[in-house]
Amino acid sequence: MLRPVVQYPNPLLAKKSEPVAEINDEIRALAQDMLDTLKTVGGVGIAAPQIGVLKRVVIIDVSLEKDDPEAPQDFRVFINPVVTVIDPKLSEENEGCLSVPELRSKVKRPRRVALEGLDLDGNTVRIEGEGYFSACMQHETDHLDGKLFIDHISYLKRSMYDKKMKKAR
């Protein structure tokens, strides 16, 4: 089921998500709703808070790690995901967000990370990535801790965006 994407500055986006205690039909339905929403609105990842649910669930297009930009999308669910830094050297990627419309900005994050969590069958899954794919993994898991990519940009750039959004309302 398609769900509306929660938009900044909704305070829900600044809240920490609860761990998933049990993978049940409710969590499977949540993941399906997230996937339906992501495929409809477009993007490379989505976190449960972005559709108004404070649970530690993300979906990421793992085809981003492949060299072929024409490769079909390959969306994967990660429940209770944890990011581990493999290479702390910073990489700067141009990020955007479904919950922060009309803004893209360069964000510095660790260059190479691993993401580990559970799939919908309760199996441990792990992926590694660098560059843009690494940024995507970190971006989506940040949502689970109440952080947005705009929390990583300069005060000036964020202030300009906030003013623009206030005028638009």
Q: What pLDDT, in 10s, does the model give residues 3-18? A: 999 999 999 999 999 9
Q: How confident is the model at residue 66 (pLDDT cuts 50, 70, 90)?
A: low
Give the distance from CA 70 to its chain's centroid. 22
The mean per-residue pLDDT over the stretch 40-54 comes to 96
The mean per-residue pLDDT over the stretch 64-79 comes to 81
Enzyme catalytic residues: 140
Q: Are 148 and 100 in contact (CB under 8 A)?
A: yes
Domain range summary for the chain, segments of one domain joined by +: 11-168
- Residues 15 and 54: their CA atoms lie apart, in Å, by 8
Domain 11-168 has CATH 3.90.45.10: yes
Model's pTM, two decimal places?
Answer: 0.94
